[in-house]
Structure 1
Amino acid sequence: MTALLDSVLAGLALGAVYALVALGFVVVFKASGVLNFAHGSLLLFGGYLVAVLHDDLGFAGALALAVVATAALAGALDRLLLQRGDPDPRAAHVQTIVTIGVDIVLLTDLSRRIGGDLLSLGDPWGDSVTRLGPVTVADSRIAAIVVSALAIGAVFALFRFTSWGLALRAAAEDTEAAALMGVRLTRVRTLAWCLAGALAALAAVFLASFPAPGLERTTGQIALKAFPAAILGGLASPPGALAGSLLIGLTEALAAGYQSELHVLGEGFGDVVPYAVMVAVLLVRPTGLFGAKGVARV
């Protein structure tokens, strides 16, 4: 029972972090129709800034600067590289391919800077743990759940109660109609990319925290496990991204916790379980858990 509770708590913490990354995928897709494959590199960029700046600025200052800088980089990539005048949804597939090139460039430079090192982010919880009944939980996991919950709540409040959130929902529903109603699609789209970058930088802190050994050049690849969560929930659905992330996180943690019982599936089954869950769900619901079915009139 203790092992089960430990796996569930680990899964909730992991799912909460995945939700930050998956929301970035969803927000960008809703605003621009682009699958941002450079999201993992943006996450690594944010984590790298925290690692190199925390000695001079302290953890809080380094994190704040990293969030702002990553948001600005994401917005600049969209505005200066992907957009050409007014955003054209028909060009989204080309822009998606461009993000692959951006990912290669960013990842190559960051990998060169990090090398084979394990970088500490100077987080205040370190390797400390807390006893909760029969289980011992790393403080980093508690922080991940609390901070992610607050950040996700703030994002949903932006969607629901701000003019930008209304404009984003309108643009996602019908781009041409939103433009005719005066929605500034370029600004909506750029702010969406900035928000996704900020969430990625925040997620980097928890992906590199204990029990992880630190930030390494492969940390950004871990973020790609959140991509199945976004697909699983419905790529244009923020609630779906949250539900899919929690499902992926719990499944991955349970697979790791009970690896000995699942040895017949292979030693690396825990690494592929997010994709296995995604395929299993999409076989039943091709649009995802919260995806809307398209209707075509002929």
Structure 2
Amino acid sequence: MTVFLDNVLGGIALGAVYALVALGFVVIFKASGVLNFAHGSLLLFGGYLTAVLHDDLGFAGALALAVLTTAALAGALDRFLLQRGGQDAHSAHVQTIVTIGIDIVLLTDLSRRIGGDLLSLGDPWGDAVTDLGPVTVADSRLAAIVVSSVVIGGVFALFRFTSWGLSLRAAAEDLEAASLMGIRLSRVRAGAWCLAGALAALAAVFLAAFPAPGLERSTGLIALNAFPAAILGGLASPAGALAGSLLIGLTEALVVGYQSELHVLGEGFGDVAPYAVMLLVLLVRPTGLFGAKGAARV
């Protein structure tokens, strides 16, 4: 039972971090119809900035600057590379392909800078642990749950109670109609990309924190595990992204935790478990857990 509870807590913490990343996929898709395959590179960029700046600025200062810089970079990529291609459905498909090229460029440069090193982000939790009854939990995991919950709550409030959130929801329903109603789609897109970049930079801290060894050049690839979470939720549903992230996080943690009992599935099954869950769910609900009936299949 202790092992099970430990895996469940670890899965919830991992799912909370995945939710930050998955929300980035969702807000960009809602605002522009673009699947941002450069999201993992933005996450790695934010983590790298935190790692190289924390000695001079302290953890809080480095993280704040990394979040702002990553948000600005994401907004600039959309403004100067993607929006020039237009904002209709056909352009969104082309822009999705462009994000693959952006990802390759960013990942190549960051991999060159990081090399084979493991970078510490200077987080204040270190390798400290807390005993919760029979379960011992890393403080970084508890921080991931608390911080992610607060940030996700703030993002949902942004969607619900601000004019930008209303504009985003209108754009998600019909880009052309939203434009005719006077909504400035370029501003909605810019806000979505900046928000996604900021969330990615924040997620990097917890993906590189203990019990992970630190930030490495492959850390950005972990963001791809949040992609099935976004798909599971219906891709255009923030609530679905949250539910899908928790499901993916729990699945991954339980599969890794019980790897010895599941050896028949292969040693690396934990890496593909999120995609296996995604395929199983989509076989039953092709539009995702929270996808509306009649929505286009992804």
Please say whether Structure 1 and Structure 2 have the same fold, judged by a TM-score greater than 0.5: yes
1:87 shift after superposition: 2.2
Cα pair 2:21 2:226 within 8 Å, conserved: yes
Q: Normalising by structure 1, report the TM-score.
A: 0.98
Cα pair 2:11 2:246 within 8 Å, conserved: yes
DSSP-derived class of the 1:83 partner: helix
Cα pair 2:287 2:295 within 8 Å, conserved: no
Match of 1:147 in 2: 147
1:104 shift after superposition: 0.2
Counterpart-to-counterpart distance in 2, 1:261 and 1:174: 48
Match of 1:262 in 2: 262
Matched, 1:184 2:206: no
Structure 1, gaps ≥5 residues long: none
1:96-115 to structure 2, matched below 5 A, reads 96-115=96-115
The amino acid of 1:174's aligned partner reads D
Counterpart-to-counterpart distance in 2, 1:95 and 1:178: 20
The amino acid of 1:134's aligned partner reads P
Match of 1:175 in 2: 175
Match of 1:94 in 2: 94
DSSP-derived class of the 1:4 partner: helix
1:85 shift after superposition: 7.4
The percent of aligned pairs where both chains have the same amino acid is 86
DSSP-derived class of the 1:226 partner: helix
Cα pair 2:287 2:293 within 8 Å, conserved: yes
The amino acid of 1:177's aligned partner reads A
1:295 shift after superposition: 6.8
1:6 shift after superposition: 0.1
Cα pair 2:168 2:188 within 8 Å, conserved: yes
1:177 shift after superposition: 1.2
After the TM superposition, which parts of structure 1 deviate over 6 Å for at least 4 consecutive aligned residues? none
Counterpart-to-counterpart distance in 2, 1:189 and 1:291: 22
Counterpart-to-counterpart distance in 1, 2:295 and 2:209: 45
Structure 2, gaps ≥5 residues long: none
Match of 2:209 in 1: 209
Counterpart-to-counterpart distance in 1, 2:86 and 2:279: 35
Counterpart-to-counterpart distance in 2, 1:98 and 1:3: 44
1:180 shift after superposition: 1.1
- Cα deviation, 1:2-31, whole Å, max 9, x if unaligned, reads 000000000000000000000000000000
How many residues get paired?
296
1:90 shift after superposition: 2.3
1:1-298 to structure 2, matched below 5 A, reads 1-84=1-84, 87-294=87-294
The amino acid of 1:280's aligned partner reads L
- Cα deviation, 1:79-120, whole Å, max 9, x if unaligned, reads 000012762232101000000000000000000000000000
Counterpart-to-counterpart distance in 2, 1:96 and 1:226: 17
